Amino acid sequence: MLTKKVKKRVSLLSLVLILSVISIFLILRSLTSNILYFQSPTDIKNNNDINFNKKMRVGGMVKKNSITINDKEIKFIITDFDNELKVSYSGTVPNLFSEEKGVVAEGRLQDKKFFVADRILAKHDENYMPPELKEIIKKDVK
Amino acid sequence: MLSNLGNFLLFLNILLSFTVIYFSLASLKSAEKIIFRKIYNISLAQSTIVLVCFFTLIAAYITSDFSLINVYQNSHSTKPTFYKISGTWGNHEGSLLLWVIILTIFSFLFLIINKNHSKNYRLYTLIVQNILILGFLFFILINSNPFLSISPVPKEGLGLNPILQDPALAIHPPLLYLGFVGSSIYFSAAIASLLTNYSERAFAKSIKNWILVSWIFQTLGITVGSIWAYYELGWGGFWFWDPVENASLLPWFAMTALFHSVVVLEKRNLLYFWVIILCLITFTLSVTGTFLVRSGILNSVHTFASDPSRGLYILAFLSIMIFSSIFLLFKKYYNKDYIINSNSKETFVLINNWFMMFYLLTVLIGTLYPIFTDAITNNKISVGPPFYNAVIIPVVIVFLIFMAVGPNTKWIKNRFVDIKKYILIFISALIINFLIGYFFKSLTILTNLIIISSLFLIISSTFDLIKSITEDRIDFARIVSHLSFGFLIFFIGLNHNFSIEKDFNMKVGETKNFDNYKIEFKKLELKNFKNYKSIVGDLKISDNKFGEERTLNPEIRIYDSPKTLTYEAAIKTNLIKDYYLTMSNIDRSEYYNIKFQKKPLMLWIWISVFALTFGGFLRIFKNAKNN
């Protein structure tokens, strides 16, 4: 027979255990529904099951002479030197955003050629390049 | 010349650390009841020399001595003197030197302040702390030496990133480092306590103020960082759940858990091993944070010059730290029967700790998850604010209620006598929340819950305040901190719910209308400053509803060295709201992107955080008075 003290402790311990399992489960579930995948224009072209409702990040270089701007939005083309993607964005761009510089846009794909961004990522450092982008360029050099 | 002096002083420091360890070991063996006099002297010398070493580097920066690579890479002769000095710790190498200074000075202070504690405990703390100092000194020498020289000597430096030339960012690293590195001393003390089987209560007494000190600086450091982000980054937010911010938040959760549970250890002699674990975790998380930030593993929008070899050294150091402390913990662990009544103050402190561990775990998982998926599946992902908001906000609602009820419970065995009071408080919180929604604007469901629970905490803390004054049973420190935390969440909730944001692309001379606002882009002016040119916009915002008019002058700055563009937000702050406006130009077109935001109660968010830390100060004074 278990003593009362042991019983109490076992029930307390199992309660803590159950609570932690539940909270970790909730954290992980919320995590998987909130992650953003990073893709290059080539990834998008080759990917056949894109979820158009899910937010994602697209990265590459801003193509030369591709930025156009009117009083509502900025349009530009992201390129990874193989494939291109048109992007439309309305809002403030970070200070290092310009043609022939690296860029990461966050938003939703409308179709495989057109992306509507709701955020353009800021970079503080003039030499900075998003790690994802470095890899794309490294691949290209090869 | 400064290069040689600096290197010499670094070596001298290493030598002194070894000497301290050597004499401490000798003192441990000796039969004398007190610590050798010379250990004090060497410790003092060590602190002095590490400071001189740092001043050497500062001198190199002030005189723009570009024979040092570090100065060449991070400074420029036309930079204002203030930023020349702050540039010293604005870079990796210099900030590591700052790290060692804090380690050394805390080591000396701990030695001289805790005179009434046992000799062996103090000596072991000193030894462990000096091992940490050595670890970082070798790191500096091998990999991150700020005193390396360069030849031929360049005529001009590369300059400091203009975005870092800012008063808030000048004091941000020292504050944050005092928090980060300040936690080293109770890491050392925890190990010393395990090694010497030191009395558990005395251990709690000796570390409690150090925890508070590091917590205060950590809080201030994080706050100053977010104030900077608010006005400098031009997004109008102050917290982005960026990995670098998360890295500073992780030890903060551990510290907060720690100074709650250390009270239980001191008053009731319970939770000894839990306190030890928290002490070890806090500093480990601080070093982990530094590792993640400096190695460039984390994909962050704040970027630091990163270098994988740095990461490797810190990783090795970190593993040794973690494994040796886990080993020691298991070796010294003994089973102790804790009898904690489920309705008692002890339980409520534990509940606080559960919440803190939950937040810590959430932020840790969110921060590290992308690293793992990258390593395992090669998928590049990022975890953004929606994750943290979804997981943390609902939990905060419950947390606030516990925060209101917990402090009024009694040690050992509590009985709830004032349930009526809490029901009344709850009802008044509901009414106030309803009034806010009725008079201003409807709230979202989540905001409703946040407002109600924060009001619950505010009202009940206010009751405590009145009670403590009338009954003269003053625990101001706790009340001030809990009250200001309630206000902090309250203001953040309102701020979030009532913010207005609008973007336009405008040409000079244009006018735009939206809701009940009118924005007029009147003119642009070019101004010249010492190390930058500035394009200043002149915009008028009119609020038709309240008949208010404000002129805002956002800037685009063009710095020469290094060639960089920055956007300076124009912010008009008053007690009720902030007007926030940024202007940016896209590739020399005639359109300017104007982002206008109205952010209510911003000032009060900052005031609440400062009040929160003020509570910490009060606690330290009270502790000092009681001893």
> What is the predicted pLDDT for the residue at A137?
53
Contacts of B177 (CB under 8 A, 6+ apart): B89, B95, B98, B99, B102, B221
Most confident of B377-381, B468-472, B591-595, B602-606: B602-606
Q: Does B163 touch chain A (CB under 8 A)?
A: yes
> What is the predicted pLDDT for the residue at B610?
96
B567: nearest Cα among B231, B303, B301, B300: B231
**pLDDT, tens digit, 9 for 90 and up, residues B111-129:** 999 888 999 999 999 999 9
The mean pLDDT value for B48-55 works out to: 96
Q: Which of B161, B384, B386 sits opposite A124 (nearest CB)?
A: B161
> What is the predicted pLDDT for the residue at B55?
95
User: Which residue, B163, B191, B218, sits at the end of a domain?
Assistant: B163
Least-confidence region, from A58-62, B13-17, B441-445: B441-445
Q: What is the spatial distance between Cα B198 and Cα B121, in angstroms, rounded to a whole number?
A: 7
Q: For an interface test with A, give the residue of B242, B357, B381 to mutate (most A CBs within 10 A).
A: B381
The mean pLDDT value for B418-429 works out to: 89
Q: For residue B49, name the pLDDT band (cuts at 50, 70, 90).
A: very high
- The structure's pTM equals 0.90
The mean pLDDT value for B263-282 works out to: 93
Q: Report yes or no on B553 lying in a domain.
A: yes
b/e sequence B530-553, b meaning 16+ C-beta within 10 Å: ebbebbbbbbebbeeeeeeeeebe
> What is the predicted pLDDT for the residue at B42?
95
Which comes out higher in pLDDT, residue B363 or A121? B363
The nearest CA of chain A is from the CA of B308 a distance in Å of 13
Q: For residue A128, name the pLDDT band (cuts at 50, 70, 90).
A: very low
Q: Which of A30, A38, A124 sits opposite B303 (nearest CB)?
A: A124
CB contact (8 A) between residue B505 and residue A34: no
Residue A1 above 80 pLDDT? no
Least-confidence region, from A14-28, B19-33, B320-334: A14-28
β-strands B564-568, B555-559 pairing: antiparallel
Least-confidence region, from A108-117, B347-356, B432-441: B432-441
> What is the predicted pLDDT for the residue at A124?
46
Q: For residue A100, name the pLDDT band (cuts at 50, 70, 90).
A: confident
One DSSP character per residue, B332-373 reads H---------SSSHHHHHHHHHHHHHHHHHHHHHHHHHHHHH
Residue B398 above 90 pLDDT? yes
Q: For an interface test with A, give the residue of B555, B587, B590, B596 to mutate (most A CBs within 10 A).
A: B587
B133: nearest Cα among B109, B160, B105: B105
> What is the predicted pLDDT for the residue at B583?
87
The mean pLDDT value for B196-217 works out to: 93
> What is the predicted pLDDT for the residue at B495?
92
CB contact (8 A) between residue A71 and residue B591: yes
Q: Does B303 touch chain A (CB under 8 A)?
A: yes
| Beta-bridge partner residues of A59 | A104
Task: Give SS3 for B582.
Answer: strand
Contacts with B358 from chain A: Cβ below 8 Å: 23
**pLDDT, tens digit, 9 for 90 and up, residues B545-560:** 888 888 999 998 888 7
**pLDDT, tens digit, 9 for 90 and up, residues B125-141:** 999 999 999 999 999 99
> What is the predicted pLDDT for the residue at A142?
40
B503: nearest Cα among A124, A117, A36, A96: A117
Contacts with B301 from chain A: Cβ below 8 Å: 121-124
> What is the predicted pLDDT for the residue at B223?
95
Q: For residue B163, name the pLDDT band (cuts at 50, 70, 90).
A: confident
Which comes out higher in pLDDT, residue B352 or A119? B352
One DSSP character per residue, B448-481 reads HHHHHHHHHHHHHHHHHHHHHHHHT---HHHHHH
CB contact (8 A) between residue A27 and residue B302: no
Residue percentage of chain A with pLDDT more than 90: 6
CB contact (8 A) between residue B383 and residue A35: yes
Q: Report yes or no on B565 lying in a domain.
A: yes
The nearest CA of chain A is from the CA of B381 a distance in Å of 4
CB contact (8 A) between residue B381 and residue A34: no
- Parse chain A into domains and list their residue ranges: 1-35, 37-141
Judged by CB atoms within 8 Å, which residues 354-373 of B form the interface with A? Answer: 354, 358, 361-362, 365-366, 369-370, 373
| Beta-bridge partner residues of B595 | B503, B582
> What is the predicted pLDDT for the residue at A126?
45
The mean pLDDT value for B287-301 works out to: 70
Residue B416 above 70 pLDDT? yes
Contacts with B234 from chain A: Cβ below 8 Å: 92
Q: Does B383 touch chain A (CB under 8 A)?
A: yes
Residue percentage of chain B with pLDDT more than 90: 52
Q: Report yes or no on B156 lying in a domain.
A: yes
The mean pLDDT value for B157-180 works out to: 85
Number of domains in chain B: 2
> What is the predicted pLDDT for the residue at B156?
85
Tokens (6 digits) for A40? 């290059």
The residue of chain A nearest to residue B299, with distances taken between CA atoms, is A131
> What is the predicted pLDDT for the residue at B286?
93
Q: Report yes or no on B418 lying in a domain.
A: no
The mean pLDDT value for A67-96 works out to: 84
Q: B144 lies in which domain range? A: 1-163
Q: Report yes or no on B490 lying in a domain.
A: no
Do the Cβ atoms of B451 and B494 come closer than 8 Å? yes
The mean pLDDT value for B65-73 works out to: 90
The mean pLDDT value for A106-134 works out to: 71
Most confident of A11-25, A103-117, B37-51, B400-414: B37-51
Tokens (6 digits) for B154? 């360049």
Contacts with A124 from chain B: Cβ below 8 Å: 161, 163, 301-303
> What is the predicted pLDDT for the residue at B306?
54
Q: For an interface test with B, give the residue of A15, A30, A97 to mutate (most B CBs within 10 A).
A: A30
Contacts of B427 (CB under 8 A, 6+ apart): none
How high is the mean pLDDT of chain B? 88
> What is the predicted pLDDT for the residue at B290?
79
Most confident of A127-141, B24-38, B369-383, B580-594: B24-38
Contacts with B373 from chain A: Cβ below 8 Å: 35
Q: Which of A31, A122, A128 sits opposite B366 (nearest CB)?
A: A31
Least-confidence region, from B26-30, B223-227, B312-316, B599-603: B312-316
> What is the predicted pLDDT for the residue at B296?
64
Q: What is the spatial distance between Cα B363 and Cα B386, in angstroms, rounded to a whole number?
A: 12
Superfamily per CATH, domain A37-141: Nucleic acid-binding proteins (2.40.50.140)
Tokens (6 digits) for B51? 């400071």
Least-confidence region, from B54-68, B211-225, B403-417: B403-417
Q: What is the spatial distance between Cα B335 and Cα B327, in angstroms, rounded to a whole number?
A: 16
Residue B536 above 70 pLDDT? yes
Residue A141 above 50 pLDDT? no
The residue of chain A nearest to residue B297, with distances taken between CA atoms, is A131
Tokens (6 digits) for A57? 């990040």
**pLDDT, tens digit, 9 for 90 and up, residues A2-23:** 677 777 778 878 888 898 888 8
Q: Does B234 touch chain A (CB under 8 A)?
A: yes
B439: alpha, beta or left? (left if phi > 0; alpha if psi -120 to 50):
alpha
Residue percentage of chain B with pLDDT more than 70: 96
Contacts with A132 from chain B: Cβ below 8 Å: 299, 380
Least-confidence region, from A122-126, B263-267, B347-351, B505-509: A122-126
